[in-house]
């Protein structure tokens, strides 16, 4: 089997979206969600070969997840259907025009039962980049073991390993997360974190320069710090590079961090320099926040320049 450009794994979720408060009822629309699948789709839309591995339920909901991934050009040969466990659910309510609230029902889901054996065929097939997040190892002991095994195996095989901290406080506390994430970072070439997550791959309470210096000393090649509306910083042994955010009207921030990571990894696969990778990362982040959905607004390759030099409310004819 031919190696892919990017392999990622984790829990694909069924996202049920409401235009208003969940408590008042109303229509829900069903979508695919999940940090890792968001990255896979973002990379695939830009023309790279991406694959997703993991478990989904062996029912209509699991079938929907596989169908959505396949429709977006993401390889699903290594997705296993679990007949014993349900799909994880993610309810997204537009509580106000400026506030989106997310509620999860994922305990005991198919995705949380991820096991090392689920990943062996995918890793054996090969990948230029392995992308993992701090969400998957928080789901269960077996998922944590699988993430550790995959990071070590891919790194040893020469793949670029990207770790997005992506801390979820409802899944584990910061001290537990720090133990696991610091271990995973030891195998990573790229570490991605928001400013308030960075100490989870360092020491508790450590400031940004201290954590970055320690990661670079341990062999990490690039540390990316997401700054929201202020853009992002990228640290390497050669110094620091900053990219401002692309100005857009924000309508939905869910998935913006995953879009940022997808853009950066696409630039890495295309051989762009650091500034070019960072520019593509913030561009995809802008597309994500300017449209509704976790990944639906992400661009195709020929759309990457759509946000360049436009004015608010522009119409392309």
Catalytically annotated residue among 118, 164, 252, 258:
258
Closest C-alpha to 182, from 201, 198, 207: 201
Closest C-alpha to 234, from 268, 272, 185, 277: 277
Alpha-carbon span 205 to 187, nearest angstrom: 23
258 is catalytic: yes
Query: Do the Cβ atoms of 218 and 202 come closer than 8 Å?
Result: no
Helix (H) or strand (E) holding 70: helix 60-71
Query: Do the Cβ atoms of 40 and 7 come closer than 8 Å?
Result: no
Query: Do the Cβ atoms of 16 and 28 come closer than 8 Å?
Result: yes
Query: Do the Cβ atoms of 110 and 85 come closer than 8 Å?
Result: yes
165 SS3 class: coil
Q: Give catalytic residue positions.
A: 258
């Amino acid at each position: 089997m031919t190696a892919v450009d990017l392999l990622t794994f984790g829990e694909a979720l069924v996202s049920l979206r409401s235009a208003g408060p969940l408590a008042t009822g109303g229509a829900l629309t069903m979508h695919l969600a999940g940090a890792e699948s968001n990255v896979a789709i973002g990379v695939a839309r830009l023309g790279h070969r991406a694959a997703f591995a993991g478990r989904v339920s062996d029912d209509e909901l699991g079938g929907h997840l596989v169908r959505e991934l396949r429709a977006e050009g993401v390889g699903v040969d290594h997705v296993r259907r679990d007949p014993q466990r349900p799909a994880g659910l993610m309810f997204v309510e537009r509580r106000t025009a400026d506030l989106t609230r997310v509620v999860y029902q994922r305990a005991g889901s198919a995705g949380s039962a991820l096991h090392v054996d689920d990943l062996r065929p995918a890793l054996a097939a090969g990948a230029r980049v392995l992308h993992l997040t701090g969400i998957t190892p928080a789901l269960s002991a077996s998922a944590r073991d699988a993430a550790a095994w995959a990071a070590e195996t891919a790194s040893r095989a020469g793949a670029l390993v990207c770790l997005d901290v992506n801390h979820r406080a409802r899944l584990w506390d910061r001290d537990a997360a720090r133990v696991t994430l610091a271990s995973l970072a030891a195998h990573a070439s790229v570490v991605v974190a928001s400013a308030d997550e960075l100490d989870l791959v360092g020491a508790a309470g450590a400031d940004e320069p201290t954590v970055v210096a320690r990661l670079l000393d341990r062999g990490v090649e690039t540390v990316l710090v997401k700054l929201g509306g202020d853009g992002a910083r990228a640290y390497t042994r050669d110094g620091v590079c900053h990219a401002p955010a692309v100005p857009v009207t924000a309508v939905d921030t869910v998935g913006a961090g995953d879009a940022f990571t997808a853009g950066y990894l696409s630039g890495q696969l295309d051989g762009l320099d650091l500034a070019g990778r960072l520019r593509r990362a913030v561009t995809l982040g802008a597309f994500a926040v300017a449209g509704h959905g976790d990944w639906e607004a992400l661009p195709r390759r020929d759309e990457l320049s759509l946000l360049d030099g436009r004015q608010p409310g522009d119409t392309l004819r």
